[in-house]
Amino acid sequence: MGVCTTISERPPAVEYTAALLPHMPIVVVGDLKGPLDWTPPANFAFYTVPQQNEHARNFTRLVPVNHSGRKNVGYLLAQQLGACAIWDLGRRQLLHSK
C-alpha cells in the first residue's frame, strides 16, 4: 500500500503511480493547507485532517499539522486498513518502467 502526504489537489506523480499500478491502494493524507475537497481515483483512500483525527485521535495529537511528519499518520492508517507492506510515495517522484 502506498502512503503520501499532499497539499496539492491533484498530486501528479501520485496519480501517475495510481494509473500505473491500479490495484495498489494508496493512502493520501491531507493537511490544513489542503486539499480540502478532492475526489481521488478509486484506489485512493483520502483523509482530511478531521478524518485523520477521527480514525487515529490518540496519535494525531502528537503529530504537528503542516509538517512532513504527518506522513506517519498515513502509515498508521495504512496499517489499520490491513497493509502488509507500506511504500512511501513522494508527490514528485515518478516510477519508470524499463
What is the model's pLDDT at position 90?
67
Per residue in 15-30, pLDDT tens? 777 788 888 888 888 8
For residue 51, being part of any structural domain is answered with: yes
**pLDDT at residue 92 is higher than 80:** no
What's the pLDDT at 19? 82
58 occurs within a structural domain: yes
CB-side neighbour CA atoms (13 Å) of 66: 2
Domain span including residue 45: 2-88
**Within a domain: 94:** no
Average pLDDT on 52-77 reads: 90
Collapse the DSSP code of 71 into the 3-class scheme (helix H, G, I; strand E, B; otherwise coil) and give the result: helix
pLDDT of 91? 60
**Residue 36, in any domain of the structure:** yes
CA angle 67, 71, 77 (to 5 degrees): 135
Q: Is residue 80 part of a domain?
A: yes
> How confident is the model over 46-55, as a mean pLDDT?
91
Domains contained in the chain, number: 1
What pLDDT does residue 54 have? 93
Check if the beta carbon of residue 17 is closer than 8 Å to that of residue 1.
no
Query: Quick check: is 97 in a domain?
Result: no
% of the chain at pLDDT higher than 90: 19
Q: Which three cell numbers stand for residue 71?
A: 506522513
| DSSP string across 5-62 | E-SSSS-HHHHHHHHHSTTS-EEEE-BTTB-SS----TTEEEE-HHHHHHHHHHHHTT
